[in-house]
Structure 1
Amino acid sequence: MLRVGLTGGIGSGKSAVARGLAAHGAVVIDADALAREVVEPGTPALAEITAEFGPEVLTAEGALDRPRLGAIVFADDARLARLNAIVHPRVAERTEELMGQAPPDSVVVYDVPLLVENGLAPMYDVVVVVDAPEEVRIARLAADRGMPEDQARARIRAQASRADRLAVADVVVDNSGSRADLERRVAEVWADLAGRAAVR
């Protein structure tokens, strides 16, 4: 099994690369999706979060009110650490479970937005970084998500720098061109990863 960490800054096209690799046959594990899954209504994690932060972090339907919780934890490092202590072990457990279900000769791609920020590069056999210039990313965020330029720049500044991400990359996917360019590059990357998995 080849463990691949896939990352890229907001607006880089990381999700498009993850979908492309999945289409070629990779087993993709999406860290964000797992973080949502482990706090769904009825889960032990949601019960713990409610006990820790109060019922005001729930919506009227009993689901996690992410914006409200975010406003609490991003203003207080100690509370953020407490939330992470509830969520992260469960995400790790679910990740191990999904990995255990993957065939032994598979290429397992972890789609991890904060791979660099959380110092996770050493956990993977190969780190793939999706890269695009900042101005391209800002234009995409405006077009795809309707995000105002100042917000897009703030989100980019809050993440690891482009240089820091490229410093941990084993493979770089340049996504500054067209969709067709990206599809060609993803096919090349898949061939590389499949080749590495075959010789393990």
Structure 2
Amino acid sequence: MSKIYGLTGGIASGKSTVLNLFRQNKFIVYDADYVAREVVKLGTIGLAQITGQFGSSVLLADGTLNRKKLSSIVFSDQTQLEKLNQITRPLIKKEILQTVSDVKKSTQSDISIFEIPLLFEGNYQNYFDGVISLYVQPQIQLHRLMQRNGISKKVALEQINSQMSMDEKKRRADFVIDNSGDMNHLQNEFDKLVSQL
């Protein structure tokens, strides 16, 4: 029987790096960000609802979503962000749960990993065979985020504080990967985790 684990972690905790390690080790990998892009592609109900809510100014000339334009509207206005979330979240959840269901029905004895940044916030934990959370020490997370995105300490802290704390994600997870060290440390943590799955 196939198993599927949810993977989560705070911003700049190394989710993409760990997802690549899973890929390199021949795990089947799914990505919630990919699902989020798929549900608003040209011709989808998601795109039609967004256009209905925000107007055709959020479309590019070819009819696809202008993400930059939409971001500028929703990230400066909490009410607009909530309206967008009310459209996209149910569509994303439906797709994710369909994928999880399909994997669990499979007769293969594969292990799949589904990366969902807001896994606990979206209450996805009960659908998986277990949840893996990435942990990184707060000062390292702050430094990595500032470096990666070229942002000030103030902006980085705002982004970190807008999410569930990593301590809370760590507490709720079934497995924890500590990504506070270098790549060798991460590889050891990864190998240890894989032996437990």
Decide whether aligned partners of structure 1 residues 22 and 103 sit closer, same or farther in structure 2, where only a CA change above 3 A counts: farther
Query: Which ranges of 4 or more aligned residues in structure 1 deviate by more than 6 Å?
Result: none
1:111 aligned residue (99, 111, 115): 115
Task: Write the letter of the residue equivalent to 1:21.
Answer: F
Alignment of 1:1-200 (within 5 A): 1-74=2-75, 75-77=77-79, 79-96=80-97, 98-99=99-100, 100=102, 104-193=108-197
CA–CA distance in structure 2, aligned partners of residues 11 and 103 of structure 1: 35
Structure 1 residue 189: deviation in Å? 1.3
Structure 1 residue 106: deviation in Å? 1.5
Question: Does the CA contact (< 8 Å) of 1:6 and 1:110 recur in 2?
Answer: yes
Structure 1 residue 177: deviation in Å? 0.4
Decide whether aligned partners of structure 1 residues 10 and 103 sit closer, same or farther in structure 2, where only a CA change above 3 A counts: farther
Q: Among the aligned pairs, what percent are the same residue?
A: 34
Which segments of 5 or more consecutive residues in structure 2 lack a partner in the other structure?
none
CA–CA distance in structure 1, aligned partners of residues 38 and 6 of structure 2: 20
Decide whether aligned partners of structure 1 residues 147 and 58 sit closer, same or farther in structure 2, where only a CA change above 3 A counts: same
Give the SS at the match of 1:116: coil
Across the aligned residues of Structure 1 and Structure 2, the Cα RMSD in angstroms comes to 2.2
- After TM superposition, the score normalised by the length of structure 1 is 0.84
Structure 1 residue 93: deviation in Å? 4.1
Task: Write the letter of the residue equivalent to 1:184.
Answer: N
Decide whether aligned partners of structure 1 residues 126 and 70 sit closer, same or farther in structure 2, where only a CA change above 3 A counts: same
Structure 1 residue 82: deviation in Å? 4.2
Give the SS at the match of 2:112: strand
Decide whether aligned partners of structure 1 residues 91 and 117 sit closer, same or farther in structure 2, where only a CA change above 3 A counts: closer
Q: Tell me the number of residue pairs that the alignment of Structure 1 and Structure 2 aligns.
A: 192
Question: Does the CA contact (< 8 Å) of 1:21 and 1:190 recur in 2?
Answer: no
CA–CA distance in structure 2, aligned partners of residues 159 and 133 of structure 1: 15
Structure 1 residue 140: deviation in Å? 1.2
Structure 1 residue 32: deviation in Å? 0.9
- After TM superposition, the score normalised by the length of structure 2 is 0.85
